[in-house]
A = this chain, B = another copy of it.
Amino acid sequence: MALSDDVESHVSDKDLIARRRRQIVNAAVKLFSKQGYAGTTVQQISKQAGVSTGLVYQYFGDKDDILFLALKQVLDTYEHDIPPQYADLDHPLERLFAALRAYCTVVHTLRDATVLAYRATKSLPLNRRIYIENAEIRTNRIFRDLLDECVAQGLMKAPDLELLTYQFVLFSHAWALKQWAFSGKYDLDSYVEAGGKLLIEPFLTGNGRAYWNTL
């Protein structure tokens, strides 16, 4: 992380800094998600976090900083919460499907924050936007690597792995972005099942299909 991406603080105790920032960012994510970035005031954030307005400015340089760390935290959650959910599994196809389920589940948990990421990233200054975009690319990498693994083992075959990866990502994000369209028609489980049928099944090889049917 480049220096320019650092968020400055006027406080020295490292632990305190971490704790306070978490406290404030959590409050911010909640409010940004509901009301948007511009629609949320620093006063509201401090109140929600249970601290004074002035304190916020001892841990963040300005309001943009809060947004940046809020988005970063969302992306970090993706990156940290998904891998453990397929790490124990052995078979690549199982791992891929588990990852899809895990991604959708995290998106479900962070529904509002996911929408926030779509809405607000553009509000960041360029260098920070790039940082966030790179974090997303790292998350995408998860699917890409699992797909590569499946292809390498002759289980899948796809014309364009790069784009297929994005379809996995978009499919997961859509669960949050298009809540209004999906709620009532699908629950999370059936949505993930359908995802498997659209994004994995069609690209299975004979071997792949053989294993897939045993799941």
Q: A83 interface residue, CB < 8 Å from B?
A: no
A191 cross-chain contacts in B, Cβ below 8 A: 163
Contact in complex: A122, B119 (CB < 8 Å): yes
Interface set, chain A 178-207, CB cutoff 8 A to B: 178, 180-181, 185, 191, 194-195, 197-198, 201-203
**Distance from A159 Cβ to chain B, minimum over Cβ atoms (Å):** 4
Size class of the A contact interface (CB-based, 8 Å):
35 or more
CB contact between A170 and one of B137, B174, B202 (< 8 Å): that residue = B174
The yes or no answer to A110 lying at the interface (CB within 8 A) is no
Interface positions, chain A 12-33, Cβ under 8 Å from B, are none
Contact B202 A181 (CB under 8 A): no
Instruction: Report whether B194 and A160 are in contact in the complex, using a CB–CB cutoff of 8 Å.
Output: yes
Q: Which residue of B lies closest to A119 (CB)?
A: B119
Q: Which residue of B lies closest to A163 (CB)?
A: B194
Main secondary structure of the interface of A (DSSP, over half): helix
- Residues of B with C-beta under 8 A to A177: 118
- Assess A122 versus B162: contact at CB under 8 Å? Given A170-B174, A171-B170: no
A198 and B36 in contact, given A118-B119, A118-B177, A174-B166 (Cβ under 8 angstroms): no
Residues of A that sit less than 8 Å from B by CB: 36-39, 115, 118-120, 122-123, 133, 137, 158-160, 162-164, 166-167, 170-171, 174, 177-178, 180-181, 185, 191, 194-195, 197-198, 201-203
* Other 19 A-B pairs with CB < 8 A, given A38-B38, A163-B191: A36-B38, A37-B38, A38-B39, A118-B177, A119-B120, A133-B181, A137-B181, A158-B198, A159-B198, A160-B197, A163-B194, A163-B195, A163-B198, A164-B198, A166-B174, A166-B178, A167-B170, A170-B170, A202-B203
